[in-house]
Amino acid sequence: MTSRTLATSLKQMLRLPVMAGPMFIASTADLVIAQCKAGIIGSMPALNPRSTEALDEDIARIAENVGGAPYAINLVAHKSNSRLDADLEVVLRHKVPIVVLALAANPDLVRTLQANGSLVFQDVVKDRHARKCAEMGVDGIIAVGAGAGGHTGDLSPFALMQEIREWWDGLLILSGCIANGRSVLAAEVLGADLAYVGSPFLASTEANTQDGFKRMIVDGSSKDIVVTNCFTGVNANFLRPSLIEHGMDPDALKPHAGGPINIDGGGANAKAWKEIWSAGQGIGAVKRAEPAGEWIDWLAADYAAARAAIGLPA
Ligand SMILES: Cc1cc2nc3c(=O)[nH]c(=O)nc-3n(C[C@H](O)[C@H](O)[C@H](O)COP(=O)(O)O)c2cc1C
């Protein structure tokens, strides 16, 4: 397979050049199914189902319902994830089409998944990380720029894409603040094969997000997002109103005290994702809480309009 074949063949399976970003707690099997049925790549963190057994059931249900469409499961390949081995066994057994590795992958894990038939994508926030992923032989690189929901990058997508596209000819996906048709098209112009969309799906009916969370996404915009490493040691974007509701001053957050990074969402971090809500700077484009399929229909129409506006064919 040449380095462009994968991008071409994946895009041919999609209605839009879009992949959903997996979101801790929020992404559900129903959301993945809705995303895939609407013609984008759906995704979900392996840790969202409450146990490895529940993950097994969810993956079986997704596979049954998406009719061969590509979907992705996200594995947090970090030593703080105590479920990694058991969840990996389930992912291997189901031959999940795409596995997104977050934060700290290793070459053995990449090889094991690929030998079993999965495509392996890894997210990065720097060109240096992207080069390491390429050395590990990943199939796709997800470049996470500034302003993204969850653990964010801090580089402009222009800088990130310029640097990575200079040497990486393989599948490249851009993440961060992409929430309308123009932004999807802009990602392609920057050299991305797919746009990675997270936060807009927090307002989806199928998302496991409370009504208050959905409302903050619909009512919010970039002014409501604050970046901090205070919860996990890694920079992440959070909704200001949600910090204020928990008695915190968003403008006086103390940097993380140091020590080991713990990103599994348990223990002291539980509050950070369950009660103090994360979202990216692109949420201003989200106008209502609705089923994911309806939002994707809107995105498809908005993308077509963006192409037409600059004279590109539909
Ligand atoms: C609430 C929330 C939770 C997230 N959890 C994860 C996660 O568990 N694993 C992961 O790889 N990315 C996670 N992300 C990042 C998304 O997959 C995606 O990269 C990001 O949302 C894209 O930026 P956007 O939100 O501006 O669209 C999360 C994002 C949000 C908003």
| Cα 36 to Cα 14, 41, 106, 141, 301, distances in angstroms | 9, 5, 28, 20, 17
Longest dimension (CA), the chain: 54
CA of 279 to the centre of ligand 1 (A): 8
pTM for this prediction? 0.96
- Rounded CA-CA distance 158/194 in Å is 15
8 Å CB contact between 146 and 156: yes
C-beta of 177 in contact with ligand 1 (< 6 A) = yes
C-beta of 196 in contact with ligand 1 (< 6 A) = yes
Q: pLDDT digits over 218-264, tens only?
A: 999 999 999 999 988 889 999 999 999 999 999 988 888 776 555 54
Residue 51 per-residue DSSP state: S
Reduced to 3 states (helix: H, G, I; strand: E, B; else coil), residue 73 is strand
- Mean pLDDT along residues 275-298: 97
Tell me the pLDDT of the chain averaged across its residues.
94
8 Å CB contact between 74 and 102: yes
Q: pLDDT digits over 177-220, tens only?
A: 999 999 999 999 999 999 999 999 999 999 999 999 999 999 99
Q: To 10 degrees, the CA torsion angle through 222, 224, 225, 229?
A: 160
Instruction: Return the pLDDT at 109.
Output: 93
Residue 25 above 60 pLDDT? Answer: yes
Which residue is closest in CA terms to ligand 1's atom 16?
Answer: 21
* The dihedral sign for the CA sequence 13, 14, 17, 23: negative
CA of 313 to the centre of ligand 1 (A): 31
C-beta of 41 in contact with ligand 1 (< 6 A) = no
Which residue is closest in CA terms to ligand 1's atom 4?
Answer: 23
CA of 311 to the centre of ligand 1 (A): 32
C-beta of 121 in contact with ligand 1 (< 6 A) = no
